[in-house]
């Protein structure tokens, strides 16, 4: 990477090569345990109830029971909190200094299995084929959780006494917007760093773009479609009276074109090293139009094309770059829409309405510097494992956003897999041991070892 490095406040600890080797051997000795632990986690369906309500599948608490037993056997003090009723976060802590405190974090919820017919085997019955272990959550992200737990186990096996406090955050609801991580981060003031073991393909990902969902509502004027000719000849030629309606769908399509222009400008003129060009997009995801406004802000009457629609609602999914700020991006979007509206006589009088944080969704960007001790610790641990570190941004959003929002530096590093959010999700078992070894070594470098 080419980014400049600045002076870091806390230097990563130097780790003797033989300690790195001991940790790796301890992890390798636990390779079967790791696979077994992951299999047990997969067998407990923990589908986020925001997607599917079925007690047989919404078993986040049972996953937490399993993780809690692991943490307790490793000497962690554990504590539950409830961001949602019956949906516990689980936090484990081992005493140590705050200055070098680090949390290993994973979400326990998974997305629904979808169409069972598309799976080659049961999503909650782990299946091994070569290096692949299949099952819902294998990769996203019970694999990362199992690897992080085995990293803690290896630290105990080797008898490492850390200087910094080591925490384990098993959180709910990442797939539903991250309220679990929001609560965990809010309760973690002073935490010096968090490593999130989402499937990163062995790539260190200290950056992610921000994400906003925004709704734009346009209002027109309803009328009979038979009089649409008045949009071409504004005076009724038979009765010689002015008639008018303003079609909200057409206002919406013009707004879409204007937003596409802004999106193109962003994509062509702004870059962040380590992120693909043009990832800063404004994607229209939902568009609905009709007559009259219901109490939910959506059209009350749909399905009658003889009526000229007077309301059009468009929801956008907006991604921006790691070094950009939500507040600036929001202002820029509002200014752009404002300018668009001023260019039209109707919209000048009836300006579009803009609503942020649709569905309470708000992901600030993650931009942990390359020279931050956390980034450097993981980078050094990857290098010590004999591989050249690859550092790049994360395309999707993760719980890292919610820790960053609370001022807690975050990076993502985890195993390699595929099929996330689809059928036949899998993780490479070789990448699980690799992840566990690198995490154990990263913990030692970041937290330091007591002499």
- Positions touching Zn ion (CB under 5 A) are 140-141, 198
CB of 137 to Zn ion, least distance (A): 9
Of 96 and 209, CB closest to Zn ion: 209
Q: How far is the CB of 174 from Zn ion (least distance, A)?
A: 5
Nearest CB to Zn ion, comparing residues 98 and 395 = 395
> Of 167 and 198, which CB lies nearer to Zn ion in the complex structure?
198
Q: Which residue, 138 or 311, is less far from Zn ion as judged by CB?
A: 138
Q: How far is the CB of 422 from Zn ion (least distance, A)?
A: 13
Min separation Cβ 166 and Zn ion, Å: 22
Report CA Rg, the chain. Answer: 26
Residue 106 CB, nearest distance to Zn ion (Å)? 8
Residue with tokens 């990362």: 144
Residue 141 or 437 having the CB closest to Zn ion? 141
Q: Of all residues in this chain, which one has the CB nearest to Zn ion in the complex?
A: 140
Half-sphere exposure of 21 (CA within 13 A, CB side): 3
CB-side neighbour CA atoms (13 Å) of 65: 8
DSSP string over 202-257? T-EEEEE-EEEEEEEEEE-B--BGGGGGGGTSSB-TTT--B---B-HHHHHHHHHH
Strands 391-394 and 204-208: parallel
Nearest distance, CB of residue 177 and Zn ion, angstroms? 12
Residue 105 in contact with residue 169, Cβ under 8 Å? yes
The residue among 425 and 434 lying less far from Zn ion, judged by its C-beta, is 425
Taking alpha carbons only, the member of 247, 250, 282, 253 closest to residue 265 is: 282
Helix H or strand E encompassing 346: helix 345-349
Please give the span between the terminal C-alpha atoms of the chain, in angstroms, as a whole number.
Answer: 34
Instruction: Work out how close the CB of 154 gets to Zn ion at its nearest, in angstroms, rounded to a whole number.
Output: 23
The residue among 83 and 352 lying less far from Zn ion, judged by its C-beta, is 83
Q: Element (H or E) spanning 396, and its range?
A: none
List, in order, residues 6 or more apart from 214 with CB less than 8 Å away: 315, 316, 318, 330, 333, 354, 355, 356, 358
Strand partners, 359: none
Tokens 């099929």 correspond to 419
Q: 198 or 315, CB closer to Zn ion?
A: 198
Nearest residue (CB) to Zn ion, 38 versus 154: 38
Question: What contacts 234, CB < 8 A, 6 or more positions away?
Answer: 242, 243, 244
Q: How far is the CB of 144 from Zn ion (least distance, A)?
A: 8
Task: Please compute, for residue 73, the number of CA atoms within 13 A of its CA located in the half-sphere on the CB side.
Answer: 11
Residue 141 preceded by cis peptide, ω within 30: yes
Question: What is the H or E stretch that residue 418 is in?
Answer: strand 417-418
Smallest gap from residue 141 Cβ to Zn ion (A)? 4
Calculate the CA 14 to chain-centre distance: 32
């Amino acid at each position: 990477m080419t980014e400049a490095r600045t002076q870091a406040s806390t230097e990563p600890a130097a780790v003797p090569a033989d300690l790195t080797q001991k940790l790796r051997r301890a992890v390798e000795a636990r390779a079967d345990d790791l696979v077994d632990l992951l299999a047990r986690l997969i067998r407990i369906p923990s589908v986020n109830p925001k997607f599917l309500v079925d007690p047989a599948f919404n078993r986040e608490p049972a996953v937490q029971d399993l993780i809690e037993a692991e943490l307790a056997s490793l000497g962690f003090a554990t504590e539950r909190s409830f961001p949602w009723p019956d949906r516990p976060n689980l936090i484990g802590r081992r005493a140590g200094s705050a200055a070098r405190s680090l949390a290993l974090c994973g979400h326990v919820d998974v997305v629904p299995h979808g169409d069972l017919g598309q799976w080659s085997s049961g999503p909650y019955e782990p299946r091994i084929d070569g290096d692949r272990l299949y099952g819902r959550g294998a990769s996203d992200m019970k694999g990362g959780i199992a690897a992080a737990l085995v990293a803690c186990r290896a630290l105990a096996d080797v008898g490492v006494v850390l200087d910094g406090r080591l925490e384990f955050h098993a959180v709910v609801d990442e797939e539903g917007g991250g309220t679990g991580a929001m609560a965990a981060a809010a309760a973690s003031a002073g935490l010096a760093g968090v490593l999130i073991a989402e499937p990163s393909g062995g790539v260190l990902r200290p950056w992610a773009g921000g994400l906003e969902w925004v709704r734009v509502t346009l209002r027109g004027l309803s009328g009979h479609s038979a009089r649409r000719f008045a949009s071409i000849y504004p005076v009724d030629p038979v009765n010689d009276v002015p008639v008018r309606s303003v079609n909200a769908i057409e206002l919406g399509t013009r707004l879409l074109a204007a937003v596409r222009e802004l999106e193109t400008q962003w994509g062509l003129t702004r870059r962040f090293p380590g992120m693909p060009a043009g990832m800063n997009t404004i994607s229209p995801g939902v568009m609905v139009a009709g007559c009259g406004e219901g109490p939910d802000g959506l059209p009350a009457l749909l399905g009658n094309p003889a009526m000229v629609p007077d309301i059009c609602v468009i929801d956008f999914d907006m991604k921006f770059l790691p070094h950009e700020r939500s507040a600036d991006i929001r202002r820029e979007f509002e200014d752009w829409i404002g300018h668009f509206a001023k260019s039209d006589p109707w919209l000048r009088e009836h300006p579009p309405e803009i609503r942020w944080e649709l569905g309470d969704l708000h992901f600030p960007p993650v931009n942990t510097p390359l020279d931050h001790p956390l980034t450097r610790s993981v980078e050094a641990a990857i290098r010590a494992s004999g591989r050249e570190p690859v550092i790049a941004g994360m395309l999707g959003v993760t719980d890292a956003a919610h820790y960053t929002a609370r001022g807690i530096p975050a990076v993502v590093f985890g195993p390699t897999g595929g099929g996330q959010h689809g059928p036949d999700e899998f993780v490479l078992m070789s990448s699980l041991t690799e992840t566990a070894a690198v995490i154990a070594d990263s913990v030692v470098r970041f937290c330091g070892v007591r002499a």
